[in-house]
């Protein structure tokens, strides 16, 4: 089943240019499995959830949060899984997304916690920075504009529809992720990546102002 899902996902996301490509999905899978080994999560469920976590990201489907879970359920059934497995994987997919600074993104299972953490870890550090600018560019967003201040969104819709700069995205999401990791393993892994982003921003502002 893993190989069937992997083939399906890779064929859909190979060459995608916004930072949500096959390699992102594969990194999330590898990070999630690494966390699973320490946290004793169900690795089969985690791997399926990681492979399908971006199958229909709300950002590319009119901010509809239901499309991803529904599509993941369809693919599990297509690959030969039963309805119980399909439901469990769809629940993981439903709980992965960040929905705004003021929105709690709790999870209902250890496996969802692991996949959510893995996805957020890939939004941090050097790769996270590269992905942020790739996505911002795909949406024609400014790199930085000092007159546009970051917003800590109180609703998912406000977050999803915001068209601020990519630098603002660091304050609206990326720098908040370290303290919103669910597992102890991910909290430790996030430290270095978080520090790298802080160093990047310090250098960015120095160059901007000099």
User: Could you tell me what percentage of the chain is helix, strand and coil, using 3-state DSSP and rounding each to the nearest 5?
Assistant: 65, 0, 35
The DSSP result for 106-155, as a single string, is --SSHHHHHHHHHHHHTTSHHHHHHHHHHHHHHTT--S--TTS-----SS
In which residue ranges of the chain is pLDDT below 70? 59-61, 63
Q: Confirm if 84 and 42 have CB atoms less than 8 A apart.
A: no
In this prediction the pTM is 0.94
Instruction: Kindly report, residue by residue over 162-198, the tens digit of the pLDDT.
Output: 889 999 999 999 999 999 999 999 999 999 999 999 9
Q: Which of 165, 154, 145 is nearest to 102 (CA)?
A: 154
Which of 3.40.50.300, 1.10.3210.50, 1.10.630.10, 3.40.190.10 would CATH assign to domain 2-209? 1.10.3210.50
């Amino acid at each position: 089943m893993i190989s069937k899902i992997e083939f399906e996902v890779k064929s859909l996301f190979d060459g995608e240019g916004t930072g949500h490509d096959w390699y992102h999905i594969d990194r999330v899978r590898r990070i999630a499995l690494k966390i699973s080994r320490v946290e004793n999560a169900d690795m089969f469920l985690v791997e399926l959830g990681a492979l399908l976590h971006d199958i229909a990201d709300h950002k590319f489907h009119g901010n509809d949060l239901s499309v991803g879970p529904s599509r993941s359920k369809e693919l599990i059934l297509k690959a030969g899984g039963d309805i119980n497995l399909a439901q469990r994987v769809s629940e993981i997919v439903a709980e992965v997304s960040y929905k705004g600074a003021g929105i709690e993104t709790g999870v209902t299972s250890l496996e969802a916690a692991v996949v959510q953490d893995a996805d957020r870890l890939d939004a941090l550090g050097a790769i996270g920075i590269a992905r942020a600018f790739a996505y911002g560019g795909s949406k024609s967003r400014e790199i930085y504009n000092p007159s546009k201040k970051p917003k800590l969104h109180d609703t998912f819709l406000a977050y999803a529809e915001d068209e601020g700069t990519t630098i603002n995205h660091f304050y609206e999401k990326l720098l908040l992720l370290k303290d919103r990791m669910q597992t102890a393993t991910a909290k430790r892994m996030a430290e270095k990546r978080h520090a790298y982003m802080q160093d990047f921003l310090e250098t960015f502002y120095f160059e901007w102002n000099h």
